[in-house]
Amino acid sequence: MGQRNKDVVQPKKVLLAPLDPVHDVGLKLIRRKLIDRGHDVTLLPPDLAPEEIVAKALEERPDFLMVSRALSYGTSELLAKFVDLCDAAGLRPSTKLVVGGLSMRPEMAQELGFDAGFGPDAPAEAAVDYVEGKEILSLAGSRPKEKSNLTKGFTYEFLDKEIGELCVGIAQQLIDWASKRTSPGITRAQLRLEIEEARREGRSEELKNLRAQYAKLCSGEVKRWYETGEPVSHTRLLTQKEMNEIAMLRDKKNDMVFPITQDILNDYNVLVQYGTGCPEMDAYHSIISVAWGARGVVHFDPSWGARTEGFLEQAWSHQHDGTVITLDNLNLIKSALLPGTLWQVRAHRGLNTPETVTLAHLSGADLTKINIVYGSLGAGTDPERLAVDGVESMKLAAKYNLPYDVVTNEELCGVPASKAFAGMLVVATAGILLGGRPLLQPLFANSPEAIITGVMDDNFIDFNVAKMRTLSSIIDAPIWPGAPVGFLTQTQDRCQSSAMTALHAALALDSGATAVTIASSDEAYAGGPITVPARIDTLKATAAALRFFGHGGIRPTSKSDEMTSQLREDIVNVLRRLSDRGDFVASLYEGILGDKEDGAYPGRAGKGTVFEIR
């Protein structure tokens, strides 16, 4: 505002008229702002008849006539009639008509016939901008065109030297162990590159051979599709109509304009998950999410993708949640993303991790996900297999310059944060040693551990803040809580879910998170496709929470300090046990990072598929 006050402006004559029996607070605020800027402002009393306002305007001949009125079915006709009166009275050529009030949006203002309209979310400055001739700035949103770089400015240096030394030792052992091994997942990732290259260059004979080799490394229904062409259950090929519609979005996306009222999240990296099953719906959901302030979107695939060796080809729609990962699907979705959309392509914690990273690279994704510990202990993949594939994936991500998150969702099984964080730190360290840029993804939720131990009985702030403080005191790396924040605090009540999501997001960002992933308000209990209104609910709630706290900050109690100390101590203890054991993969099986008592079970998918390299 300081800079604004120094601008030289041409004073304008503004008539403010509350077309309302009582309320004129908004206009009084605008009056103050306009007077501060040197404009000639007259505020009429409330409850004048439209004709009286028009008569006054004919006397005053203002440059702008701004009216306020809460909108309802009946009052909309009143406003339309007012516009007609102004037009017929000959005011329009010299006087811009502006309307503001509850429920007002630019589309509504246009329908009523006003030159501009501002709703309750619009800042008073927007009206001032409009008066000063900055129409475009006032009415069109300024959705960022540049993507956020979530890892920019982080040194990846360990601030906690003791933990750093332990992590480096354990991670190096993991890398060394994996370097002597391979798996069908790693081979398929290589074959996928060759298949796509052959496909691009039209080498059909070679393509056929490569596919045959690839098919041999697949399992279940994916293998059957390569052999017989029979679709995987609950999938169908995308229709030409659907592909045309995505192409329409691709062609129109650069022309989409969003109102300023949706700009409030611009300063934050809030990402949303999509995965409706249908690439066209994903494209719409992505555009809508970004239109409502999300900086990025996260692709996730069906859960059977974790347990089935191999990916399909072509463009598919999937009947249930999760969108099938194929290069065609990813390319379609990518083509429709709005400029500046950060795009994470993640596989579902299983047997296709290296190929997911490869496809993320080929389709132009900005981020991916690699999760050795959670995939092993909470999601059903054999630890040995995921360790080998995970290390290879981190090598690929480094090669392709793709940052990735390392998640701690095993907390959802009941694994304590100390064990989950120790595992995450080791995997992230391995990534750093391999030249990558991992992002730490702590769970930001009412985890089973928290429920059982009661650390969140009093409030949801202390323990979550303790997690953030612990991690940021250990290593200078980006922290991206999720995914999504507020997990296990949401219910089938959309208001409650939006509020919980918003408060968790605000807390995470206030605690220094680089980014957050949020869920839609109906995501946990959708019982069907996630709806667009639910997406917007959550984004708007998050924006409102961030607006509410502003720079006021959220203050945890002193218990958070105790929790921080305890968590750091517990992490050190887990890392020492890992270090003493000297075999990271064996530690996964043996429960050092989560045992049956914690609800963690070493997965079995892909067991026996790791081979030593001779």
Partner 1 sequence: MRIVIGVAGTAKNTGKTTTLLQTTEFFNSVGKDVFLTSIGYDGEDFDNITGLPKPRIFVPKGAMAASALSLLKSSPADFRDLRYTGVDCALGPVYVGTATSTGKVVLAGPTNTEDLISVIEFAPSDSPVLLDGAFSRLSPMVVADCLILATGATRSTDPVKLAKEVNAIFRVMSLPEVSDRPTERHATYDSSEAGSIGSDSVITIPNGLFLKGQGRKLGIRLVQDGMPSNVRVEGIVNPGVFLEILEVLGGFSKDTVNGRLPILFVFDHPIMLLLSGDIMLWDRVLDRLSQFGCGAAVKDTTRLLGVTINPYTLSQLDNGKFVAGQVDPKEFLENVRNRAKVPCTDIVLEGPSVLYSWLEQYV
According to the binding rule CB under 8 A, does residue 495 interact with partner 1? no
Out of 24, 115, 301, 523, name the contact with partner 1 by CB under 8 A.
115
Q: Which 93-112 positions form the footprint of partner 1 (CB under 8 A)?
A: 93, 105-112
Class of residue 220 by CB neighbours under 10 A (exposed 0-12, middle 13-18, buried 19+):
middle
DSSP state of 381: B
Smallest gap from residue 251 Cβ to partner 1 (A):
9
DSSP state of 458: S
Q: Which stretch binds partner 1 (CB under 8 A): 48-56, 159-167, 365-373, 415-423?
A: 48-56
- Within 10 angstroms of residue 527's Cβ, the number of other Cβ atoms is 6
| Cβ closest to partner 1, residue 86 vs residue 324 | 86
Question: What is the SS3 assignment for 404?
Answer: strand
Q: Which two tokens stand for residue 177?
A: 């162990």
Smallest gap from residue 62 Cβ to partner 1 (A):
16
Element (H, E) at 178: helix 161-179
Whole-angstrom distance, CA of residue 399 vs CA of residue 98: 55
| Cβ closest to partner 1, residue 25 vs residue 58 | 58
Question: What is the SS3 assignment for 368?
Answer: strand
Out of 9, 55, 433, 586, name the contact with partner 1 by CB under 8 A.
55
| Cβ closest to partner 1, residue 112 vs residue 539 | 112
Smallest gap from residue 76 Cβ to partner 1 (A):
6
Question: What is the SS3 assignment for 344?
Answer: strand
According to the binding rule CB under 8 A, does residue 51 interact with partner 1? yes
Binding mask 76-95 for partner 1 (x = CB under 8 A): xx--xx-xxxxxxxx-xx--
Smallest gap from residue 277 Cβ to partner 1 (A):
23
According to the binding rule CB under 8 A, does residue 114 interact with partner 1? yes
Residue with the two structure tokens 């909309």 = 76
- Strands 316-318, 235-237: pairing kind: antiparallel
**Residue 91: strand pairing partners:** none
| Cβ closest to partner 1, residue 364 vs residue 533 | 533
Element (H, E) at 274: strand 270-274
Q: 587, 577 in Cβ contact below 8 A?
A: yes
Angle between helices 417-433 and 558-581 (to 10 degrees): 60
Binding mask 137-176 for partner 1 (x = CB under 8 A): --xx------------------------------------
According to the binding rule CB under 8 A, does residue 54 interact with partner 1? yes
Out of 34, 65, 116, 370, name the contact with partner 1 by CB under 8 A.
116
Smallest gap from residue 420 Cβ to partner 1 (A):
44
Whole-angstrom distance, CA of residue 475 vs CA of residue 610: 32
Smallest gap from residue 247 Cβ to partner 1 (A):
11
Smallest gap from residue 98 Cβ to partner 1 (A):
9
According to the binding rule CB under 8 A, does residue 452 interact with partner 1? no
Q: 164, 473 in Cβ contact below 8 A?
A: no
Smallest gap from residue 100 Cβ to partner 1 (A):
12
According to the binding rule CB under 8 A, does residue 71 interact with partner 1? yes
Smallest gap from residue 135 Cβ to partner 1 (A):
7
Q: 270, 518 in Cβ contact below 8 A?
A: yes
Element (H, E) at 100: strand 96-100
Smallest gap from residue 78 Cβ to partner 1 (A):
10
Q: Considering CB under 8 A, how many residues would be counted as binding partner 1?
A: 44
Whole-angstrom distance, CA of residue 536 vs CA of residue 261: 13
Q: Which stretch binds partner 1 (CB under 8 A): 133-141, 377-385, 536-544, 579-587?
A: 133-141
Binding mask 242-261 for partner 1 (x = CB under 8 A): ------x---x--xxx----
b vs e for 246-284, b when ≥16 Cβ sit within 10 Å of the residue's Cβ?
beebeeebeeeebbbbbbbbeebbbbbbbbbbbbbbbbb
According to the binding rule CB under 8 A, does residue 70 interact with partner 1? no
Class of residue 228 by CB neighbours under 10 A (exposed 0-12, middle 13-18, buried 19+):
exposed
Binding site for partner 1 (CB under 8 A): 51-52, 54-55, 58, 71-73, 76-77, 80-81, 83-90, 92-93, 105-117, 135-136, 139-140, 248, 252, 255-257
